[in-house]
Amino acid sequence: MATRHRSKVGLDPAVVRKARGLARRAGAPIVKMARTHSTVSVERATLRLAGLTGADVDGIPWVNRLVDAVREDVGLEQGVALPVWHAVARGDGEDLSAIAQKAAAGSIHFRLPTGREATRAAGAARRAVAGGLKRIDTQRVRRDRRIAKLGDPPQRPWLYLIVATGDIYEDIPQAQAAAREGADVIAVIRSTGQSLLDYVPEGATRQGYAGTYATQENFRLMRAALDDVSRELGRYIRLTNYASGLCMPEIASLAGLERLDMMLNDSMYGILFRDINPKRTFIDQRFSRQVHARAGIVINTGEDNYLTTADAVDAAHTVTVSQLLNEYFAREAGLADWQLGLGHAFEINPDLPESFRLELAHALLARELFPQAPLKWMPPTRHMTGDVFRGYLLDGFFNLAGALTGQSILLLGMMTEAVVTPWLSDRDLAVQNARYVINAAGNLYEDFRPAPDGFIAQRARQVLAEAVDLLERIVDDTLLAAIADGTFGLMRRPADAGKGFDGVFPRADGYYNPAGELLEEGS
Amino acid sequence: MSAASSTEPVAGKTIIRPYGDATGDGMVQLSFTLPVPHDKRAEGAALQLAQKMGIDPAMVVHAKAMGPEFTFFVVYGRVHHLVDVSKVQVVDRAYPLLSPKDANAQIKRRLHRKLVVVGACIGTDAHTVGIDAILNIKGYAGEKGLEYYREIKVVNLGAQVTVPDLVERSRRERADAVLVSQVVTQRDAHLHNTKEMSAAFRESYPAGRQPLLVVGGPRFDEAAAADLGVDRIFGKGTTPSEVASYLVHALAAARTPA
């Protein structure tokens, strides 16, 4: 991806600069809000980084019990670290686990330390959290070594396949089979509804709904299984999960600790599609992205979802706007361009005349706006009808558009989309489809130069212009107001409504979070 | 959709066979996977399956190994079964399935305002998967949820909502319909919770004024609505448009002057 040429669709650098400037202006107030607030999930993630694991007999994690207990006694406006490590220093329990259990039983109470006591508690908290970050750093080095030894996939785009049985022990052989069939990236879809759980389930899980719960143990088991198959195949198979929903910061932390390689992490998906409070989402997202930056994890954003609800032609510019916002938030949180798997999708109605040209225009626009980003190109879902033959052809065109426009990661379409959860044979056929197209098209991207003032180039410039217009309106209106007005994906989400809002609080003077501090400092 | 049209024989014929490239040739195609390595024996196994399915002669036109343990087959062949079109029975849904656009149009025309739906998981049930599949814009099975419908106002209360809270919120929102999803079935919790819920609505609303009560979940018997005191039960695999179509149908019927 190092050698990108002059714009194939004649994007005006001044317009591109303007678009980025507007995204920054739209996003800056959100970042300011995120820096002055925290959430229960950010505090819980801090405890996880400090090594607190496990759950009570009802399956509620100790990090939840501990944060709840602190909140009850002294509130969370100063952060969870000072009262908790003050309790450790006082000898209320030998470690975090003991403190959490006693606090849950009501046998100890928290107090906010001041002066020297506070300094001492902060120092202890910082050392504990630094231990977790060190483990994340070690995992990153381990990944780099394995990639150096085994190598990346021989071709671009990388092929991304999904498994989702609900049972981690069933997912493992399926994921290994998918890797043998040719997948470069395996995503384990989460159980429906996990995004709305305000805790991360514990342990290996065997029952999920249309997916498998994201837990630390499930992460560990799957990464180990893919390490085995990576050795067997001689290429490093990447593992993806979801840092989204109410526990974004915690899941990001667990992903770093267990060496996941990519995480879905969109700036607005939870707000729009899960009705999670906007403030909660933006605060959690910033922390989770700081962790991803540290862990060397590639994030995948979710712009494809807008096109499953809004029209893929009319709303094409909302994808561009969201990509620019995701880029701004991601860079602000410390992610490098190679970590920005910005999303987009092949969702134009195939009955529309010139639909393929329009897809090429949109895909090239994304490619040229974000030349260094590993773009993630999503297959048709909305116009898959159950006619598996037509669907297979459509997926072939999707793959061709991906090869022709230099996409980085192809999530492979299943011809049985909208019919069944993918069968073994569906995945095999999908890989054959992609392999044929990528092999046959080769480096067609190099030769593909749309006419400078032709349909494709004009369409790309038009979408960018519409994106700039929309960004101008968002800047005038503020991003939170734009989200409340239904600008994205047709969903209206007010800033003070939605799930998880009661877990948002302003940071008081003297707020201390060692994880935030260490992540801002960088490694 | 008249009853007559669904049994009308095609071009006067009532006895038919599949059509490949000639009338009456009976040709069909199918594909499947067998959990065996690809070899001659595997192809024989595929033929045996096809023959047991009534395909004779059957041709394995394609066989491909998928990893060391599975083989994928494409089979073509002739079936000798006869289909009697005059004996086909079509069960018509009691209400037409509407697209979101048509549902919106009908709500607008008949209600002259938005249709208000309040949804929740009641009792200790934290499995919002059902209610979210129906209500969230993300939807289910390729269909958008009710939030996507411009003329439907959705209030999703989420998990572990108490019955009194549900009744109170439904009154406050002037709900036209209340959707409750129940996944947990330990000790028949789903049945007890549903009865408790319907009783509470009967008590707090004047007769005939309560919202439509709809429950859904994988373990409900769709025929038990009357026993549980609700208007409708939806089972596993129900899609948002089925629910929306039902709501439009039921509310329009209720509001049409006698």
Q: What is the pLDDT of residues B147-159, one digit of tens each?
A: 999 999 999 887 7
pTM of the predicted model, to two decimals? 0.83
Task: Record the tokens describing residue A130, joined without a space.
Answer: 């630094």
pLDDT at position B9, please? 44
Distance from the B137 Cα atom to the nearest Cα atom in chain A, whole angstroms: 6
CB contact under 8 A, B138 and A381: no
Give which of A264, A266, A275 to mutate to test B binding, by max B Cβ within 10 Å: A275
Virtual CA dihedral for B14, B20, B21, B23, nearest 10 degrees? -20
Rounded-to-integer distance, Cα B193 and Cα B162, Å = 10
The mean-pLDDT minimum among A133-137, A486-490, B23-27, B97-101 falls in A486-490
> Chain-centre distance of CA B175, in angstroms?
24
**Could you give the CA distance from residue B96 to residue B245 in angstroms, rounded to a whole number?**
7
Is the CB of A417 less than 8 angstroms away from the CB of B138?
no
Q: Which pair of structure tokens corresponds to residue A14?
A: 């001044």
Q: Is B182 touching A (CB cutoff 8 A)? A: no
The pLDDT of residue B258 is 38
C-alpha A374/C-alpha A30 separation (Å) is: 25
B69: closest chain A residue by CA = A177
Q: Which of A171, A261, A266, A304 is catalytic?
A: A304
pLDDT at B184 over 70: no
Nearest alpha carbon to residue A497 among A301, A325, A281: A281
Is B144–A197 a contact, with Cβ atoms under 8 angstroms apart?
A: no
**How would residue B2 be classed by pLDDT, with cut points 50, 70 and 90?**
very low
Cβ contact A416:A449 at 8 Å: no
CA distance A121 to chain B (A): 37
Q: What is the reported pLDDT for B8?
A: 45
- Decide if A204 contacts A168 (C-beta within 8 A): yes
Long-range CB contacts (within 8 A, 24+) of B131-135: B131/B156, B131/B179, B131/B180, B131/B181, B131/B216, B132/A192, B132/A193, B132/A196, B132/B156, B133/A192, B133/B240, B134/B179, B134/B181, B134/B216, B134/B238, B134/B240, B134/B243, B135/B179, B135/B240
Can you give the pLDDT at residue A219?
A: 98
Question: Who has greater pLDDT, A369 or B129?
Answer: A369
Q: Are strands B152-156 and B115-121 parallel, antiparallel or unpaired?
A: parallel
CB A384 within 8 A of CB A394: yes
Residues of B in contact with A381 (CB under 8 A): 142
Distance CA A271, CA A51 (A): 30
State yes or no: cis peptide before A157, omega within 30 of 0. yes
Most confident of A2-6, A103-107, B129-133, B221-225: A103-107
pLDDT at res. B92: 59
Instruction: Give the residue from A192, A162, A196 showing the smallest Cα distance to A178.
Output: A162
Q: How far is B138 from chain A (nearest CA, A)?
A: 6
Q: Domains of chain B, with CATH numbers? A: 15-85 (3.30.30.60), 100-255 (3.40.50.280)
| Inter-chain CB proximity A425 and B72 less than 8 Å | yes
Catalytic residue among A199, A242, A269, A328: A269
Side chain identity, residue A108: I
Give which of A367, A376, A313, A315 is closest to A344, Cα–Cα.
A376
DSSP string, A225-244: HHHHHHHHHTSPPEEEEE--
Is residue A102 within 8 A of residue A108, CB to CB? The reply is yes
* Confidence band, pLDDT 50/70/90 cuts, at residue B127: low
Cβ–Cβ below 8 Å for B66 and A424: yes
Chain B contacts of A201, Cβ < 8 Å?
A: none
Quickly list DSSP for A182-219.
Answer: T-SEEEEPPPTTGGG-SS---S-----SSS----HHHH
**H helix or E strand, kind and range, residue B27:** strand B27-34
Q: Is A497 helix (H, G, I), strand (E, B) or coil?
A: coil
Is residue B33 within 8 A of residue B70, CB to CB? The reply is: yes
How far is the first Cα of chain A from the last one, in angstroms, to the nearest whole number?
27
A166 touches A210 (CB < 8 A): yes
Q: Test B72 with A428 for CB contact under 8 angstroms.
A: yes
Say which of B70, B133, B158 has its CB closest to residue A192.
Answer: B133
Give the per-residue pLDDT at A122: 98
B163-179 pLDDT, tens digit each: 998 999 999 999 999 99
The pLDDT, as a whole number, for residue B6 is 42
List the domains of chain A with CATH numbers: 37-129 (no CATH), 155-458 (3.20.20.440)
Whether residue B155 lies within 8 A of chain A, CB to CB, comes out as no
Contact yes or no for A274 and B31 at CB 8 A: no
Give contacts of A425 with chain B, Cβ < 8 Å.
31-33, 66, 70, 72
Residue of A424, A426, A491 to mutate, testing the B interface (most B Cβ within 10 Å of its Cβ): A424
Q: Cβ of B132 and A192 within 8 Å?
A: yes
Binned at pLDDT 50, 70 and 90, residue B7 comes out as very low
A269 catalytically annotated: yes
Tokens 């400090």 — which residue? A50
How many interface pairs between A and B have CB atoms less than 8 angstroms apart?
Answer: 61
Chain A (460-499) residues lying within 8 Å, Cβ to Cβ, of chain B: 489-491, 499
Determine whether A512 is an active site residue. no
Give average pLDDT by consecutive 10-residue segment, chain A, 523 residues: 67 97 98 98 98 95 98 97 97 95 96 97 98 98 97 93 91 92 94 88 89 96 98 97 96 98 94 89 98 98 82 91 97 98 94 96 97 96 87 97 96 86 88 96 92 96 97 95 82 87 96 97 77
For residue B237, the SS3 value is coil
Chain B residues within an 8 Å CB radius of A433: none
pLDDT tens, B42-84? Answer: 999 999 999 999 999 999 999 999 888 899 999 999 999 999 9
Query: Is the interface score ipTM higher than 0.85?
Result: no
Cβ <8 Å between A209 and B129 = yes
Burial class, B254, CB count within 10 angstroms (exposed 0-12 / middle 13-18 / buried 19+): exposed
Q: Which of A193, A382, A424 sits opposite B33 (nearest CB)?
A: A424
CA distance A138 to A470: 43
In whole angstroms, how far apart are CA B32 and each of A220, B27, B66? 34, 17, 12
Q: Please answer whether residues A137 and A523 qualify as being in contact, where contact means their C-beta atoms are separated by less than 8 angstroms.
A: yes
Report d(CA B107, CA B252) in Å as an integer.
Answer: 8
